Structure 1
């Protein structure tokens, strides 16, 4: 009862609204990954994969939230130091648990995006690429849950900066998870009807991977030959995202214009 009473104070309700909005903004890249991952299973199982993956991820996010709150020092304190931070050293890194998860997760996303782009451009994939790319329902759910937890670190640490109430953060996770279930279906349907936007989605995912790797490197104080790895700022990420979308829209419209001009020229010579 104490946690419920605490939740319905004016300050906590306002914080809850802020956290839901924050989860929605930070969850865009996660939503894109879920949509691209779910299309690898049979079509009749895709919605089931998205909903089960997000549902399990909500439960594990709350568990992760409790662990992070109770053991924040374990996530912040370095457990592995490589190299020396002296001048002239070729490498230095002081890795904590959060930085390792971000670097590993970002690296996996980079690998996934590059692999999908390669398959998209491979001639031998034409005509049977969908079948070769299919995976089991259990495997797809596993990767959705795992990558959801990787994306969770950022949103949980951001939430802890706004409130110390576990109840408020847990409710925000549940509400944003339900919204993600709804939006995942819409995003997947949009990508299915507009296949050309899959290219845009993969390059956005590629940038997400770079952002996570750079953030993990920054948190680990990673440096090569005295040059420190700087984290990609969220504002930079969203600016690049907007530029990519605008370029894609303009390119699509210009291509339609060129096709119309070519059709008109063919009509004149016919």
Structure 2
């Protein structure tokens, strides 16, 4: 019976810890066509599952990563700390870039020049060239997104698995919890993605949440522990306030 309680606890914990992974993948794939978006979201979550199972099967190596790697003026970071620091910096840089892109998109939407003229037959060749360039650009974008997903999957996998190891000593239970949680997240990913994509304000909120996670990873890399419960409570509270605000605006009489 003890193993069942451990399994349920770990599964719920892995789902909660995986929400930030889903949000990050959703934000990254937002610019892709819907068919590619769903495919790459699934690839990202399957890679996350593979990383987690691989780390669980290498627990002795993983626990060795918590030992100091070197010393520098009294600071003795482990390999895990360095991964958290690198992941935190990457997440901060990426979310800042995405926030800047979102704000610029809102500022410049509708700014296209309406006085463009038709150039006759030149337009056909321009369209063909533009189509070829667009396909090549889409392939490069998809490849870049997959690489970024792999990098952040590594960081989130370390965090997730080290938490799991602290709660259970049965490898089979941990693997089962990771697999079940990933199946649940694969089923939830599309719904969460569509919900976030329809709400620009929630996209900004999600990016702000990811920026907070990046900052938290940096802090953890310097051995300052921040209870994750506070972080997820802040996310739930701010999301609830935003949804209430949207509902209030919808009920307001139109002027």
Task: Give the TM-score band, short-chain normalised.
Answer: 0.7 to 0.9
Q: Provide the rounded CA distance (Å) in 2 between the counterparts of 1:202 and 1:106.
A: 14
Report the CA distance shift for 1:168/1:127 in structure 2 as closer, same or farther (over 3 A).
Answer: farther
TM-score, length basis structure 1: 0.76
1:132-175 residue CA offsets vs partner (Å, 9 max, x unmatched): x9653232222223212211122211211222221111111111
- On the 8 A contact 2:51/2:153 being kept in 1, the answer is no
The yes-or-no answer on 1:54 pairing with 2:54 is: no
Report the CA distance shift for 1:120/1:176 in structure 2 as closer, same or farther (over 3 A).
Answer: same
Q: 1:169 aligns with which of 163, 170, 174?
A: 174
Question: Gaps (5+ residues) in structure 1?
Answer: 1-9, 85-92, 219-229, 264-270
Q: Provide the rounded CA distance (Å) in 2 between the counterparts of 1:217 and 1:57.
A: 25
- Superposition pairs of residues 181-260 of structure 1, within 5 angstroms: 181-218=186-223, 230-253=224-247, 255=249, 260=253
Is the deviation greater in 236-245 or in 151-160?
236-245
Report the CA distance shift for 1:167/1:31 in structure 2 as closer, same or farther (over 3 A).
Answer: same
SS at match of 1:94: coil
The offset of 1:13, in angstroms, is 2.2
The offset of 1:256, in angstroms, is 5.1
Larger RCO: 1 or 2 (CA < 8 Å, sep 6+):
2
The yes-or-no answer on 1:82 pairing with 2:72 is: yes
The offset of 1:254, in angstroms, is 5.4
SS at match of 1:160: helix
The offset of 1:14, in angstroms, is 2.1
Question: Gaps (5+ residues) in structure 2?
Answer: 112-133
Structure with the largest fraction of strand: 1
- Superposition pairs of residues 35-114 of structure 1, within 5 angstroms: 35-67=26-58, 69-84=59-74, 93-114=75-96
TM-score, length basis structure 2: 0.80
Matched residue, 2:118: none
Matched residue, 2:165: 160
The offset of 1:214, in angstroms, is 1.0
Q: Provide the rounded CA distance (Å) in 1 between the counterparts of 2:61 and 2:165.
A: 13
CA RMSD of aligned residues (A): 2.4
The offset of 1:202, in angstroms, is 0.9
How many residues matched?
Answer: 229
- Superposition pairs of residues 132-147 of structure 1, within 5 angstroms: 136-147=141-152
Q: Provide the rounded CA distance (Å) in 1 between the counterparts of 2:13 and 2:86.
A: 24
Matched residue, 1:15: 6
